[in-house]
Structure 1
Amino acid sequence: MAAMLDLDQLRTFVAICDAGSFTRAAETVHKTQSAVSMQMRRLEERIGKPIFGRDGRSAKLTEEGERLLGYARRLIRLSDETVAAFDDEELSGRVRLGTPDDYADRFLPEILARFSRSNPRVEVTVVCEPTLQLVECLRAGSLDLAIVTSFKDTSTAEVVRQEPLLWVVSNQHRLEEEDVLPLALGRDTCCWRKGAIEALAATGRKNRLLYASNNSTALAAAVLAGLAISVLPESALRPGMRVLGEAEGLPRLAPCEIGLMRAPGRPSTALVEALAEHIVSSLDNLSMRIAAE
C-alpha cells in the first residue's frame, strides 16, 4: 500500500464506528452524508480492502474494518497528542470533578480519555460521592464541576442527558413473583430510592428494603446474586440482569435526568468549560451507541 492514509478520513471512519451509522456520523464531523460515503470509498481504495458491509451504507464492520479501527484510533490519538505538545496556548492546571460512583463506572473512562488527549497538561482530580454531598462540595468551593442526578435540590444543574430508570433483577431468578419484593436501593438521601418506594406504595405493592448502599457495585452484586430487585438507569444495565416492567406488576418510574453543576458564585474558567464540553460530547456518543444497539 503505497498511498498514505488521510487523517480526516480516519476521523470520519472512527466517528461512524462510534455513532453506529453514516447519518449520525455526518452530523458529528459536520459533513454531508454523501461526503462521508465518498471519504469511506476513498479510504477503502487506499487500504485495498472493504471495511463496511456490502450494502454500502451499513456501519457494520468487516474483519478488515475491525483491524483498521484499532490503528485509526491510535493514529488519531498520536496526532492529537503531537499537536498538543507543541501548542503553547493549550490549557494547563488542575480541575476538580465530582461524580456519583455509578456514573464514574459508566461515563468516566470515555470522558477522561477524550479530555486527556486534548489537554495532556491538565490534572483532573475526581471525587466520587452521592449527589447531595457533591452539591455541598460545589458550594464550599472544593469542586469545580460535578455530574449529578438532577432533582429539586439541584435546580441550577444543566440537564445533559435523560434516560429511563428501570427495575432490574437477576435473569436467573424471579423475585418479582414474591409476595413481598426484596429491594436493594441507595441510602435514605437517594432520590431513586425515594421514587421507587413511592411508586410501589402508590400501587399497593408490598416490599422490604434488604440492602442499602450508595455504592452501585454493591447494589449490582445483590441483584446479580438473586437477592434483591433494584433500580438502574438504562445505560447501567449489566450482563446477567433482566428488566422488569408493568407486565410483571412493577410501576413505571420517572426518567433519570443527569446534569452538570458548576461551583456557584464563581466565574467559570476555560478549563472547566473545556471539561464540561467533553462530558457533554461523551454522553452524546453514549446515546448514539445505545440507540444503535
Structure 2
Amino acid sequence: MRNLDMELLRTFVAISEFSSFAAAADQVHRTQSAVTQQMQRLESQLGFSIFQKTGRSKQLTAQGSKLLEYAIRILALNDEALGMLDMDDVKGSLRIGAPNDIAETILPSLLARFAKIYPHLRMEIHVGRSPFLMQALRRGEIDLTLSTRKSDVHPGFILRTSPTVWLCATDYVHNPANPIKLVVADEPSLFRELALQSLNAAGIAYHISYVAPSLVGIKAALRAGLGITARSIEMISPEFRVLGESEGFPRLPDVNFFLYLRDEQVGTIAKIVFDTLSKSSHDHGRALSSSVPVPG
C-alpha cells in the first residue's frame, strides 16, 4: 500500500491556493525549483499527471482536482489531530455570545466541538440579539460572538450562510387580498430590515401588527396567529410553516452568520479557538472550489 507524502501534499495545496508555483514556494519556504521538483516527485508517486500545460500556464488535470479535494481533507485532519493533542492542557474560561435564534441550532454543535478539542475549557454563554452582542463584544464583556451583523471593527469570518424565509403558524390563514400582517422585532433588527425592504421593493402592502423585543415574543405572536415574520431557516419547527413565492411572497436574501473575535489582543484561549474555527472554515471553502487555474 502506497502512502502519500504529507509535505508534498502541503506544497500541492499551497500551489492551488496561491495559483502560482512562485507564491507557493514563498509560503512553504522553498525555492521555486524545489517546489517544481516536489510536484514531479508527487506525480511519480501517484503514477499520473496532476498538472497540464494550458498556454503559458499550468492547470490541474481532472485527477489533480480530485487529489486536491482529498489533500485538503487529509491535511485538515492531520492538523486537527495534532492540534487536539496540543490543546489537551488548555485551561481557562471562554465567553461566547449567540443570537437567540441560533442558540438552539448552530451553537450546540460548536460547543460540542469546543468540548472535544478543549476538554478543560470552561464556557460562559451569553444569549441575546446580534446588535447588543456586538456592543458587548466592543465593551470586552464577551470574547467571541456569533452575529448576523457585518462589522469591519472586529476580526471575523462567515461561519454559516442560511436562507431567510417567511414564517407563520401552521394554521394561519393568509388572505392575499389584504395587507400582510407583520410580526417583527423592535429596532435594530436585520430580519425586520430584510422583511420591509423586500415588501417595499415588490410593492406589496403590509402593516406591522406586532413588535417584540425578543425572539420569545416573536414566536408567541406567530403561535397566536397575529401575523407573519421573516427569519432564517433555523427557526423552522413543526408549529410554523413557510410561505413562498407561490403565495405571493417575495424571495428573501440569505443571511450570513459571522463569528467575531473581540480583537487580536484578546486572551490566548479565545484567539486559539477563533483561529481553529477560522482555519476549518477556510479549508471547507477551499474544498468547495478546487478547480482553480494554476499559472506556472
- State TM-score, norm by structure 2: 0.60
The offset of 1:129, in angstroms, is 2.1
* CA pair 130-154 structure 1, distance change in 2 beyond 3 A: farther
Assess if the C-alpha contact under 8 Å between 1:183 and 1:207 holds in 2. yes
Assess if the C-alpha contact under 8 Å between 1:169 and 1:175 holds in 2. no
Assess if the C-alpha contact under 8 Å between 1:91 and 1:271 holds in 2. no
The one-letter code matched in structure 1 to 2:255 is C
The whole-number CA distance in structure 1 between the counterparts of 2:264 and 2:123 is 22
Q: Residue 258 of structure 2 corresponds to which residue in structure 1?
A: 259
The offset of 1:267, in angstroms, is 4.7
| Equivalent position SS for 1:177 | coil
* CA pair 153-279 structure 1, distance change in 2 beyond 3 A: closer
RMSD: 3.4
* Structure 1: stretches of 5+ with no match in the other structure: 1-25, 32-83, 286-293
* Structure with larger Rg: 2
Q: Residue 179 of structure 1 corresponds to which residue in structure 2?
A: 178
Aligned residues: 208
The offset of 1:135, in angstroms, is 1.5
The percentage of counterpart residues that share the same residue type is 26
The offset of 1:260, in angstroms, is 0.7
The one-letter code matched in structure 1 to 2:136 is C
The offset of 1:166, in angstroms, is 0.4
Q: Which has the higher strand share?
A: 2
* CA pair 98-210 structure 1, distance change in 2 beyond 3 A: same
The whole-number CA distance in structure 2 between the counterparts of 1:102 and 1:159 is 17
Assess if the C-alpha contact under 8 Å between 2:158 and 2:257 holds in 1. yes
Assess if the C-alpha contact under 8 Å between 1:101 and 1:128 holds in 2. yes
* CA pair 216-111 structure 1, distance change in 2 beyond 3 A: same
The whole-number CA distance in structure 2 between the counterparts of 1:88 and 1:277 is 11
The one-letter code matched in structure 2 to 1:186 is A
The one-letter code matched in structure 1 to 2:93 is R
Q: Residue 91 of structure 2 corresponds to which residue in structure 1?
A: 92
| Equivalent position SS for 1:161 | strand
The offset of 1:173, in angstroms, is 1.9
The whole-number CA distance in structure 2 between the counterparts of 1:181 and 1:138 is 36
The one-letter code matched in structure 1 to 2:102 is Y
Q: Residue 125 of structure 2 corresponds to which residue in structure 1?
A: 126
The whole-number CA distance in structure 2 between the counterparts of 1:211 and 1:276 is 41
- The one-character-per-residue Cα deviations of 1:40-99 (angstroms, maximum 9, x if unpaired) are xxxxxxxxxxxxxxxxxxxxxxxxxxxxxxxxxxxxxxxxxxxx9x98952110111111
Q: Residue 162 of structure 1 corresponds to which residue in structure 2?
A: 161
The offset of 1:200, in angstroms, is 0.9
The one-letter code matched in structure 2 to 1:140 is R
Higher relative contact order (CA 8 A, sep 6+): 2
* Structure 2: stretches of 5+ with no match in the other structure: 1-68, 75-83, 285-296
The whole-number CA distance in structure 2 between the counterparts of 1:206 and 1:143 is 41
| Equivalent position SS for 2:105 | helix
The whole-number CA distance in structure 1 between the counterparts of 2:275 and 2:170 is 37
The whole-number CA distance in structure 2 between the counterparts of 1:185 and 1:89 is 44
The whole-number CA distance in structure 2 between the counterparts of 1:281 and 1:244 is 34
